[in-house]
Every structure is written in structure tokens, then in C-alpha cells.
């Protein structure tokens, strides 16, 4: 592309181009876009405008989301056709274009389903609108915990942006601070939302330097922040912040099934999304001898060709060569003492244009609690570990997803009851399985909403002694107050 794509900030008064712009380059270092970085003052004023904005009625939100999703996946936005957009994301993020295309469709679907999906998280005892007749005699109403939500978004894969659409669906105003690595997707999505009748004061796109990112969180009511362990630690005590950490998804192969029929699912779970997502499998635990499993995974993964990301057949991620080499050194340093089944001599495949494919890696560790099983990297990289029934759930803790190929009911109970495991999939289900309306890491609404008691007309308040429950159950408590 000869002309750089302009990624303006999208504030409450419209697009905003700053003097301070960051060049976004592709994996070969070729400039692709210019991102307007807004100063603190702009962030403050934008978030203040979100606080003052009206709440859109639910049906308007649902309709606008659906329209925006359709436009995102089909129309020319900011001068980019869908194909232009997908090509640019693929080149900038080094993500296989087939993954970008699939993500485009997922975002369209997520936008269509967002409103309905959020309603599935509503407690059975709560209604979504206080006008509901149920509130006349006392009922719970599902209400927002705040007005303005901030997302400090990651840039690893476009589909992460499907999640915060639910926040809009629930009536929050949303400020998206994009990753400087891949700002194209949130820019396109926010533009589409604003063109689909979400007012400019309903959803804003605020690219900033790191120093300003905390201002967005400070000024919003609630925030979601993506990052590694350091980000998790930073925000773990802040009830207003929902940190989204490493996925460390895992597969368990217990001995009561033939593992060889599940190799496809394992390989897919490792390499889908180019291995760049939190739902990609980081470790596989094998009851019995893990060696043949590790070898089979390695054999399958080794057959994947090295291709530039925009090639329709590409499966593996591509990074600038220097970054790829840093990644390789990190991997090999940390893999010491393990047995390499694939990638032991390195994972960098130089494409000759300044970029390099990150080839898959399979390493076998000798204990289920080997620290390597927690190392999640942004390419297909999997640690294969031995596991026995005596080890139980312990090595499977701290996982976004555990796919367990087992018939052991007690073990399944253990996985479902384990608080640090977000999702449990049984049988031949890849760890990346996701559906609108089914929680990704609990329902986001669990964080966004609360139930508020409401009663209208004073009926059933216990004052008339008409046999209401509260009066019957707590006569002493109610009595003195009403007398």
C-alpha cells in the first residue's frame, strides 16, 4: 500500500488526528499505518463525555450492534475494504490471513449475538427492566455497576475485540485503548459501531502512550486490562479492574481412551489462531508414556509449511526477524533440561524480507509440575508432561481452558470445582472452542452487573400486616421500625 492508513483517534466529537503519531509497520518493517496518539487531556475529556452521554435503549443497542457487525465484516470502512483490512492486519500482526478472515466472521457473529448473549448471564431471579410487573411486589432488577467501561486491549488476535461488544450491549459507554501492535481491528470496529448509530459519545477509540493508559482506567468506572503476570499482579487488588491474563490452556489425556484418535484435536488446539491466542493449548498432560504423544504432535506440527502471513495456506505466525530471534532465545533458554521433540535447534525460519516464521515447538518435560508447562508463547509451542491419577487436578490449575479426554467422573468433578480453571471441555473438543452466550472466562456480565432489589407501590412492604413474608419471618426486626 503506497499511502499510509490513517488511524485517527475517535473521540466524542469525531475523528481526531494528532501531531504525535506512531508509525505502524508490518512484519518486514514496511510502514502501513499512522496511529494518532492522544494526550492525557484528550483522554480525560473523552471519558468525561462518555460519563455525560445518554444510555441508549436496549433494542437500539442490539440493532446497532448487529448493523455494526455486518458493516465490519462486509463494507468499506475508513477507506479499507474487508480484504484490504484483512491483508493489513495479517501483515502487521504476522497473523495467518485465514485466521484474520475467521476472526472477521466471529466478530460479525458476536456483534449480532452480543445482546442476547448477555441476557444469558442474568440471574434467574432478576428482571432486566424495572418496568417489569414482577417488581411491583418486590423483585431483583439487573443493573449496571457503572456507566463507563475502559478496555486496554491486546493486539495478539482480532477476535479479542468480540468480547467488549457485550459491554456495549449492556448499555455501558466504552473507551477502547488499542494495542499499538495491531490497532487496525479496534479502529475498524469502533468506526463501524459509530456509523451504526452508536453516538460518538457512546464508544471511543483512544490510542495513547503507556504513560497515559492508567488515566483511562482512573476515569472509567470499570476496566478490563490484558497482560501478563505483571499486569495481573498490578491490578489484582483493584475491584474496578478485570485483568485478563495468560490463558495457559491445557489438554489432559487420561489412559482410558486411545490418544491417537485425538492427535488432530491436540494439534489444532496448539496451532489454531497461529498459536497466538490465550485459548491455544500450552501444555498437554499424558497418563502413561508421553513420548509417543509428543512425537506424534511433533510430526504433525513439523509438516506445516513456512509461508508469509498473507498466504491463504499460512498457519504459522510471522514476526520481525529480530523479535523472532529474541523469542527463540527465550524459548531455548527456558527449555534447558527438557527433551526437544520439535524446535530444539530453533524455531526461526527467515523469510528473507526482514520477517521470519515462528515454527512450532514441542518439548517434553519429565514431571507434571515442571515450571515450563506454564510458559505461554505467541506461536504454536507446547509442553508435553507425564501425569498420573495421583497428581490429580493440581498440575491442571490456573487454566483458561482444560480439555480433558477422560471418563473419570471424580476427576471431572475436580476440574469443574477447581476455581482457577475457567472452562472445562470434555472429549474431542479443542481448547479454542467458543460460542456467543457461553462464557469465555466467566460471563463478563458477572463483573459488569449487579442485582438490585426493587418494590413498587409499597405493597408487600409488611406495613399493613397482610401476611407478607418479611413481616412473618422477622416480626421483631420490622416492628420497632414501623411503629
Judged by the rule CB under 8 A, the positions of this chain that interact with another protein are: 13, 18-20, 38-42, 44-45, 48, 154-157, 179, 209-211, 226-229, 231, 244-247, 276-278, 280, 326-327, 330, 375-378
Distance CA 107, CA 422 (A): 22
Least spacing, CB of residue 135 vs another protein, in Å: 35
- If the CB atoms of residues 330 and 474 are measured against another protein, the closer one turns out to be 330
Least spacing, CB of residue 428 vs another protein, in Å: 24
Per-position b or e across 354-375, b if 16+ CB within 10 A of its CB: ebbbbbbbbbbbeebebebbbb
Q: In sequence order, what are the residues at sequence separation of 6 or more whose Cβ sits closer than 8 angstroms to the Cβ of residue 107?
A: 69, 72, 73, 158, 159, 161, 162, 165, 185, 189
- If the CB atoms of residues 218 and 435 are measured against another protein, the closer one turns out to be 218
- If the CB atoms of residues 196 and 331 are measured against another protein, the closer one turns out to be 331
Least spacing, CB of residue 439 vs another protein, in Å: 19
Least spacing, CB of residue 438 vs another protein, in Å: 21
DSSP secondary structure letter of residue 315: -
- If the CB atoms of residues 20 and 81 are measured against another protein, the closer one turns out to be 20
Least spacing, CB of residue 96 vs another protein, in Å: 15
Least spacing, CB of residue 12 vs another protein, in Å: 10
- If the CB atoms of residues 249 and 403 are measured against another protein, the closer one turns out to be 249
Cell 498459536 sits at which residue?
Answer: 275
Least spacing, CB of residue 249 vs another protein, in Å: 10
- If the CB atoms of residues 134 and 231 are measured against another protein, the closer one turns out to be 231
- If the CB atoms of residues 29 and 228 are measured against another protein, the closer one turns out to be 228
Output the furthest CA–CA distance in the chain (Å, rounded): 86
CA distances from 329 to 14, 39, 382, 385 (A): 44, 36, 16, 22
Distance CA 360, CA 347 (A): 7
2: helix, strand or coil: coil
410: helix, strand or coil: helix
- Whether 422 contacts 442, CB under 8 Å: yes
CA distances from 263 to 268, 292, 333 (A): 8, 11, 28
DSSP secondary structure letter of residue 131: T
Amino acid at each position: 500500500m503506497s499511502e499510509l492508513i490513517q488511524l485517527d483517534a475517535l473521540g466524542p466529537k469525531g475523528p481526531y488526528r494528532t501531531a504525535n503519531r506512531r508509525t505502524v509497520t508490518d512484519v518486514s518493517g514496511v510502514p502501513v499505518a499512522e496511529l494518532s496518539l492522544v494526550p492525557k487531556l484528550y483522554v480525560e475529556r473523552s471519558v468525561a463525555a462518555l460519563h455525560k452521554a445518554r444510555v441508549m435503549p436496549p433494542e437500539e443497542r442490539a440493532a446497532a450492534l448487529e448493523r455494526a457487525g455486518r458493516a465490519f465484516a462486509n463494507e468499506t470502512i475508513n477507506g479499507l475494504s474487508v480484504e484490504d483490512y484483512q491483508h493489513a492486519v495479517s501483515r502487521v500482526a504476522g497473523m495467518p490471513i485465514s485466521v484474520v478472515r475467521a476472526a472477521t466472521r466471529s466478530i460479525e457473529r458476536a456483534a449480532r449475538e452480543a445482546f442476547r448473549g448477555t441476557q444469558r448471564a442474568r440471574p434467574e431471579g432478576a428482571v432486566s427492566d424495572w418496568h417489569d410487573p414482577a417488581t411491583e411486589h418486590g423483585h431483583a432488577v439487573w443493573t449496571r455497576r457503572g456507566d463507563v467501561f475502559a478496555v486496554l486491549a491486546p493486539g495478539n488476535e482480532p477476535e479479542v475485540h468480540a468480547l467488549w461488544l457485550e459491554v456495549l450491549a449492556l448499555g455501558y459507554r466504552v473507551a477502547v485503548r488499542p494495542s499499538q501492535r495491531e490497532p487496525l481491528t479496534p479502529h475498524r470496529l469502533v468506526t463501524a459501531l459509530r456509523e451504526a448509530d452508536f453516538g460518538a459519545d457512546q464508544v471511543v477509540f483512544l490510542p495513547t502512550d503507556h504513560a497515559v493508559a492508567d488515566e483511562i482506567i482512573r476515569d472509567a468506572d470499570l476496566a478490563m486490562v490484558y497482560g501478563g503476570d505483571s499486569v495481573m499482579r498490578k491490578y489484582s487488588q483493584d475491584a474496578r479492574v478485570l485483568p485478563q491474563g495468560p490463558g495457559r490452556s491445557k489438554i489432559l489425556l487420561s489412559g482410558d481412551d486411545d490418544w491417537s484418535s485425538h492427535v488432530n484435536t491436540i494439534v489444532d488446539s496448539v496451532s489454531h489462531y497461529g498459536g497466538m491466542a490465550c485459548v491455544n493449548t500450552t501444555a498437554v498432560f499424558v497418563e502413561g508414556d508421553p513420548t509417543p504423544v509428543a512425537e506424534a504432535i511433533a510430526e504433525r506440527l513439523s509438516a506445516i509449511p513456512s509461508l508469509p502471513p498473507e498466504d491463504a495456506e499460512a498457519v504459522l505466525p510471522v514476526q520481525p526477524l529480530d523479535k523472532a530471534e529474541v523469542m527463540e532465545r527465550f524459548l531455548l533458554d527456558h527449555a534447558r533440561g527438557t527433551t526437544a521433540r520439535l524446535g530444539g535447534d530453533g524455531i526461526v525460519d527467515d523469510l528473507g524480507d526482514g520477517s521470519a516464521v515462528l515454527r512450532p515447538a514441542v518439548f517434553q518435560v519429565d514431571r507434571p509440575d515442571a515450571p515450563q508447562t506454564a510458559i505461554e508463547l505467541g506461536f504454536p509451542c507446547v509442553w508435553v508432561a507425564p501425569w498420573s491419577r495421583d497428581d490429580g487436578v493440581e498440575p491442571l490449575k490456573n487454566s483458561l481452558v482444560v480439555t480433558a479426554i477422560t471418563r473419570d467422573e471424580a476427576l471431572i468433578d475436580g476440574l469443574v470445582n477447581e476455581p482457577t480453571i475457567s472452562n472445562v471441555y470434555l472429549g474431542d473438543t479443542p481448547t479454542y472452542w467458543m460460542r456467543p452466550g457461553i462464557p469465555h472466562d466467566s460471563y463478563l456480565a458477572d463483573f459488569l452487573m449487579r442485582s438490585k432489589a426493587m418494590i413498587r407501590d409499597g405493597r408487600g412492604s409488611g406495613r399493613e400486616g397482610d401476611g407478607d413474608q418479611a413481616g412473618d419471618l422477622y416480626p421483631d426486626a420490622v416492628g420497632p421500625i414501623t411503629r
